[in-house]
Amino acid sequence: MPHTIKNRLVWFLVWYVAISSSLFAQNVIINSGWQFSEDHNTWETINLPHTWNLEDAFDDYPGYRRGQGYYKKQIYIPVEEKDQIQFLKFNAVNQEATVYVNGALIGNHEGGYTAFNFNITPFIRFGEYNLIEVTVDNSHNENIPPLNADFTFYGGIYREVELISLPKQHFSLNDFASEGFYVDYYEVSNEKAGVEVSSILDNTSNTNSQVSLYMELLDANGELVKSRTESFKLPAESSNEFKVKLPLVYQPMLWSPEQPYLYDLVLKLKDARGKVLETKHSHVGFRWTSVDPDKGFFLNGKPIKLIGVNRHQDFQGLGNAVPIELQEKDIYLIKNMGGNVIRFAHYPHHRDLYKLCDELGILVWTEIPIVNKVTDSPEFFDVCINMQKEHIKQYYNYPSVVMFGYMNEIFIRMVFDKYTEEERTALKSTTLKLANQLENLTRELAPNRLTVMACHLNEIYNETGIADLPMVLGWNLYFGWYDAEIKDLGSFLDEQHQRFPKRSMLLSEYGPGADVRIFTKTPKKFDFSTDYQFKLHQSYVEQIQERPFMTGMTAWNFADFGSEFRGDAIPHVNQKGLVQYDRTPKDIYFWYKSVLDKREPFVYVATNFLSGLTLFQDETYPIQVYSNQPKGMVYVNGINLGEISFENGAASVEVPFRDGENILRLEAGNSSVEKVVSVHKLETLDFKNFDQFGINVGGHFYFHDQERNLTFVPDQTYQTPGYGYLSGAPYGMTKDKNQGVPFNVRNTTSDPLFQTMLEGCADYKVDIPSGEYQVRLFFVEPKMKPTQNIYNLTQSAEVVEVTNRRIFDIYLNGHLVQKNVNLASEYPEKYGVNIISNILIPKNEGLKITLKPVEGKPVLSGILIKKIN
């Protein structure tokens, strides 16, 4: 090709691309290369999603930084785009954002979980770099919900930022940052179904424009099902709403969890010459829902028990700044477990997750974060109303969304905080007023969805009448954890059903905390054992299954999540997850799979976390096995233990383990699984096939200590030959609470080892043979100033002066190790203390630990003995 022709062709292409690009809508995610600073002085380069609370929300010091953070970024906007409209869209910033472009204030947004956008066109310099600056504030703000809640309010720009370039005629971005169109359905049934689209079309030019809207509905194979074109006049500088119905589809494919059939709705906005200005897509899922106070939930006219989970959005090590790909894995995990519903708690989550719920067939409850209490101010009301508008409009088009909610346990602070009677009355009426406004707004904006709210166990919701507002009433019930006993769930629900026969109810939260490092033969309330977690969930599912009037249940929570003030077995983390904070499933996840997922035979042996199981002499250990089959066969080391029947997806097998590796095999249906379990089988404490021995003093459970890669055995009263205490009693253990001290212990990650302890223990015996040993004793002062956890209704409210609570001397076999140990005054508060010393034990004497009280009662949390010689 001659050089000049080639040059011309290149120039033509450059010109063509420039011209044509100026005609199309474009959307660029600008997540990379932002500058971040906490003080306007030191800046670091970061990528979004980002939060500044990754470390301080998990360290040993109470609180985390709630204040301002500053972000800035330069973006180049080409001169070719000067006829376009430029929008900056923030998908979520927690919790208040103030945005500047080239130094000019563009706008402010309150609320950390919904998207917002600003038209920045007038402030842009085309053909140049433009400076975007965002001041983010996550300080407590009386006018922005949530005011208080059991999760960490990480500050930062934690979802994508988009730069959107639009032709002057476009789908509006000014309607609460929605897509500018809303998909509705008409006459949906087995025989036929119709789609109606309301589009908001903006014309920002100063001349009238003629546009056309081409709409097509494609089936799952991409084949055209229906289409329609409409022409509209858009007056200069106007925003217009047009409703268009596509013709009815006969014999439609319906959407359901078993068959989440989706059609693709395509909208093409064209100019007068037929050039496409903007293209939009939406899922279309034909389905209808209803609730019946006696018969539960119905999808497409058929009853369906909703069983699934709540989900929080944060992830271990990432806070709320979680890449979307990682978040999507949660939805796959939930589907794979057999869950058919997700409550996105307590705020709207990333929109792509709702899209995935459409695709995988999971029904959704979505809500805004008005949690625990409200503020009686017009500003607070305005923010709440605005937030619910954003929420509904931004999440409207997902067919998976069947319930829109707006409040969670809204009276809980009022029940626990100190108020005068007058204040209480006023707060009740303010709360009710706001609830009424939000209920009406939700019904008006989302007429084809169910409204919903979640309450905690208190009569106040009935008495105020707030519980009668939503179409579905969620109860968050923690029988067998914070309240009463596991079995009390059913009778509570029966009583409510009888008293309020017109209400449709859903068990919106339930579940105990569970730590995979804690396992036991004797699960107890509030001990954080995975065994208690199993016991509670199994019974709850049974109790709900038995009650047709219950629409369903959503476990609290899918995953462990960050809650800074908590002192669970892992401090700062709420451990009620079915999977861990990093999403490694706990055993209970697989139990749910065995009861919910009937697609193919499934078997599971719950031994994944039985690390370092130590058994004495003839002791056996009960192993849980799960399956969706009625019967199965278990083998240990090739020996058939006989046929087992699965009830409610599970069976317990007493396994006679041998020392060393054991092979457990489970067969059911045509499925089988083999697991290797390593067990220390001890005849005596002879240190022959082990070199360390640890005792979880004061605790009834095994504790697998990851710091030392060792499992501490449960404590006991002295048994000969063996180990145990001769005096004292487990500290802080009651019928209702078996955690010892429910607080963060500083300077350790082995909190459960410290949290349980013996008090008043003068003598402790361990029958070890002669030799040289290192003995490590673990202590913590239990009288700590608790951080208030209003959810933990069993926590003792003991706030005490701790100095000189207890002073004691430590002896090993009569030899003084340390005198006048005073945990309260020698160490910082809540400090995990190790005292280590070596001892030579002469023939047959064994080890005797003596804590001689000088003042008060001595305490002891753990013993670790290492053989040296």
**C-beta closer to ligand GCB: residue 577 or 612:** 577
The stretches of 66-192 forming alpha helices (DSSP H) are none
Helices (H), 235-377: 324-337, 351-360
Residue number with CB closer to ligand GCB (507 or 753): 507
According to CB under 6 A, which one of 71, 354, 532, 556 is a site residue for ligand GCB? Answer: 556
Residue with tokens 């025989």: 191
Kindly state whether residue 576 participates in binding ligand GCB, applying the rule CB under 6 A: yes
Verify binding: residue 373, ligand GCB, rule CB under 6 A: no
Whether the CB-CB separation of 34 and 73 falls below 8 Å is answered with yes
The nearer residue to ligand GCB, 149 or 267, going by C-beta atoms, is: 149
By beta-carbon proximity to ligand GCB, the closer residue of 181 and 479 is 479
Q: How far is the CB of 476 from ligand GCB (least distance, A)?
A: 4
User: Contact at 8 Å (CB) between 810 and 826?
Assistant: no
Identity of the residue, 409 or 715, whose beta carbon is nearer to ligand GCB in the bound complex: 409
Would you call 223 exposed, middle or buried from its count of C-beta atoms within 10 A (0-12, 13-18, 19+)? exposed
What is d(CA 327, CA 314) in angstroms, rounded to the nearest whole number?
9
Range 374-433, binding ligand GCB (CB under 6 A):
408-409
Q: Which of 270, 456, 537, 765 binds ligand GCB (CB under 6 A)?
A: 456
Residues of span 493-512 touching ligand GCB by CB under 6 A:
509
Restricting to residues 761-800, which ones interact with ligand GCB according to CB under 6 A?
A: 791
H or E stretch covering 4: helix 3-23
Helix (H, G, I), strand (E, B) or coil at 411: coil
Closest CA to 35 of 133, 153, 181: 133
Closest CA relative to residue 233, chosen from 260, 247, 212, 257: 212
CB 518 within 8 A of CB 527: yes
| Torsion sign across C-alpha atoms 121, 45, 565, 308 | positive
Q: By rule CB under 6 A, what count of residues binds ligand GCB?
A: 11
Verify binding: residue 525, ligand GCB, rule CB under 6 A.
no
Shortest reach from residue 465's CB to ligand GCB, in Å: 21
* 771 burial type by CB count under 10 A (0-12 exposed, 13-18 middle, 19+ buried): middle
C-beta closer to ligand GCB: residue 562 or 649: 562
Q: Which of 431, 533, 574, 696 binds ligand GCB (CB under 6 A)?
A: 574
Q: How far is the CB of 544 from ligand GCB (least distance, A)?
A: 17
CA distance 287 to 400: 9
Provide, rounded to whole angstroms, the least separation between the CB of residue 438 and ligand GCB. Answer: 17
CB of 514 to ligand GCB, least distance (A): 12
Helix, coil or strand: residue 529: coil
Nearer to ligand GCB, 115 or 149 (CB): 149
Q: For residues 149 and 434, which CB has a smaller minimum distance to ligand GCB in the complex?
A: 149
User: Is 263 in a helix, a strand, or coil?
Assistant: strand
Site string for ligand GCB, 64-103 (x = CB under 6 A): ----------------------------------------
Q: CB of residue 123 vs ligand GCB: minimum separation in angstroms?
A: 40
Q: Which is nearer to ligand GCB, 442 or 554 (CB)?
A: 554
Q: What is the dihedral of CA 518, 522, 526, 530, to 10 degrees?
A: 40
Nearest-approach distance from CB 149 to ligand GCB, in angstroms:
6
* 730, 731, 735, 739: CA torsion to nearest 10: -100
Using left for φ > 0, alpha for ψ between -120 and 50, and beta otherwise, residue 461 falls in alpha
The first and second tokens of residue 292, run together, are 């019946």
Residue placing its CB nearer to ligand GCB in the complex, 343 or 665: 343
150 touching ligand GCB, by CB under 6 A: yes
Q: Provide the minimum distance between the beta carbon of 512 and ligand GCB in the complex, in angstroms, as a whole number.
A: 9
Beta bridge partners of 643: 633
Instruction: Work out how close the CB of 536 gets to ligand GCB at its nearest, in angstroms, rounded to a whole number.
Output: 13
Pick 310 or 388: Cβ nearer ligand GCB: 310
Which of helix, strand or coil describes residue 240? Answer: strand
Closest residue by beta carbon to ligand GCB: 791
Side-chain-side CA neighbours of 115 within 13 Å: the count stands at 25
CB of 409 to ligand GCB, least distance (A): 5
Please state, in angstroms and rounded to a whole number, the distance separating the CA atoms of residues 240 and 271. 16
Q: Which of 476, 539, 551, 624 binds ligand GCB (CB under 6 A)?
A: 476
Q: Which residues bind ligand GCB (CB under 6 A)?
A: 149-150, 408-409, 456, 476, 509, 556, 574, 576, 791
